[in-house]
Amino acid sequence: MSYTYENLVFTLKDELKEISSIPSREVQILIESLTKKDKMYYIKNPNEEIPEAIVLKIYNFIKKRQKGYPLEYMIHNKEFYGLNFYVDSAVLIPRPETEMLVDEAFKFLKPKEDISILDLGTGSGCIAVSLAHLLKYKGSKCKIIATDKSFKAIKIARRNATTNKVKSQIKFIESNWFENINERYDCIISNPPYVKKLDKEKFPNLIFEPEDALYSGDDGLTDIKYLLDNVQNFLNDDGLFLCEFGYDEKGDIEKYIKEKTKFTKYEFLNDLAGIPRVLKILF
Ligand SMILES: C[S@@+](CC[C@H](N)C(=O)[O-])C[C@H]1O[C@@H](n2cnc3c(N)ncnc32)[C@H](O)[C@@H]1O
């Protein structure tokens, strides 16, 4: 049987209604990604047949998708801060709430001329690349170091810096947190792993993403506590530390800061849903 864009979407949309809130759009995205033609093209060419090999691939993708495999890994793309990022199962799929880290860092860095930024646990590179992009258009001479302990993530982040034309602004380093870092920075940003290992069963949709990007000890706080213990050794005077954390972790983090650190200038920022999400510490 031969299919056009429209009747393939009509035929397959119900297959995804259990898993997706936008089943028709997901089928469209799969077709567009595999044929490398966008929606506008198919609106202008409504009778064009989708090649049989692609129809077969789409059927296979739909089967994987029904098991919860993320659409972003199938089409190898996720939009973040208005830019396109290549993603595969070696990196976390960037989340919209992480854009807050970029907003906050940019507010802090904007009036400054010559700045240095360290992005710890860069993954797809979404934070470092978006900041480099913003600072490039401001004409700033920023120096960004992006690190990850995963070599595969570093390769992907470097690829995303190249496709988004900010390769020369970012240096990528494979490092276990601060292990290979020898300098101080004006701004340190991190979206570290923060899901509780004990919550693994609670979030079955996360099984396709890398465990090292998600889980951090039974309480989700092992990595955040490590960063809090060490960050002041890598920040310049008047520097800024920004760190994302889990939806229910503000209380434990505040307790740790009060009991185990000397930080006094800190605040917690809420995401658009009103949930505390980002820790901001001024030095
Ligand atoms: C939650 S993901 C964040 C990825 C990306 N920054 C983002 O916001 O989408 C955490 C990242 O930290 C990295 N990571 C985990 N443990 C690390 C460690 N000990 N040292 C450096 N990076 C680490 C993971 O490989 C992963 O890429």
Does the pTM surpass 0.85? The reply is yes
Q: What is the mean pLDDT of residues 160-174?
A: 97
Q: Which atom of ligand 1 is nearest to the CA of 95?
A: 9
Is the pLDDT at 244 greater than 80? The verdict is yes
Please give the pLDDT value at position 271. Answer: 93
Residues 69 and 158 in one domain: no
For residue 198, is pLDDT > 90?
Answer: no
The closest-lying atom of ligand 1 relative to the alpha carbon of residue 122 is 6
Mean pLDDT of the chain: 95
Q: Is 164 in the pocket of ligand 1 (CB under 6 A)?
A: no
pLDDT of 275 strictly over 80: yes
Q: Write a three-state SS string for 67-128.
A: CCCCHHHHHCCEEECCEEECCCCCCCCCCHHHHHHHHHHHHHHCCCCCCEEEEECCCCCHHH
Residue 226 Cα to ligand 1 middle (Å): 13
| 34 and 85 together in one domain | no
As a 3-state breakdown, the chain gives helix, strand, coil percent values, each rounded to 5, of: 45, 20, 35
The predicted-structure confidence for 141-160, as pLDDT tens digits, reads as follows 789 999 999 999 999 999 99
pLDDT at 202 over 90: no
Task: Specify whether 123 is located in the same domain as 176.
Answer: yes
pLDDT at 203: 84
From atom 26 of ligand 1, which residue's Cα is the shortest distance away?
213
Averaged pLDDT for residues 81-99: 97
* 98 and 59 in a common domain: no
Range of the domain at 193: 80-282
> 3-state class of 201 per DSSP?
helix
Q: Are both 146 and 217 inside the same structural domain? A: yes
250 lines ligand 1 (CB under 6 A): no
Q: What is the C-alpha to C-alpha distance for residues 142 and 133, in angstroms, rounded to an integer?
A: 10
Q: Is the CB of 126 under 6 A from ligand 1?
A: yes
193 lines ligand 1 (CB under 6 A): yes
pLDDT of residue 199: 85
Domain boundary among 75, 91, 109: 75
Alpha carbon distance 276, 249 (integer Å)? 8
CA of 122 to the centre of ligand 1 (A): 6
Question: How confident is the model over 215-243, as a mean pLDDT?
Answer: 96
Give the position of tokens 């101080």. Answer: 184
**For 41-67, what is the mean pLDDT?**
95
With cut-offs at 50, 70 and 90, classify the pLDDT of residue 137. Answer: confident
Q: How far is the CA of 159 from the centre of ligand 1 (A)?
A: 17
Band of residue 56 on the pLDDT scale cut at 50, 70, 90? very high
Judge if 170 and 191 occupy the same domain. Answer: yes
| CA-closest residue to ligand 1 atom 14 | 121
Residues for the chain: how many in total?
A: 283
At 60, the pLDDT band (50, 70, 90 cuts) reads very high
Q: Residue 94 — very low, low, confident or very high, per pLDDT cuts 50/70/90?
A: very high
Cα 113 to ligand 1 centre (Å): 28
Whichever domain contains 120, its CATH number is: 3.40.50.150
Q: Is 23 in the pocket of ligand 1 (CB under 6 A)?
A: no
Residue nearest to atom 12 of ligand 1 (CA): 121
- pLDDT at 201 (0 to 100): 83
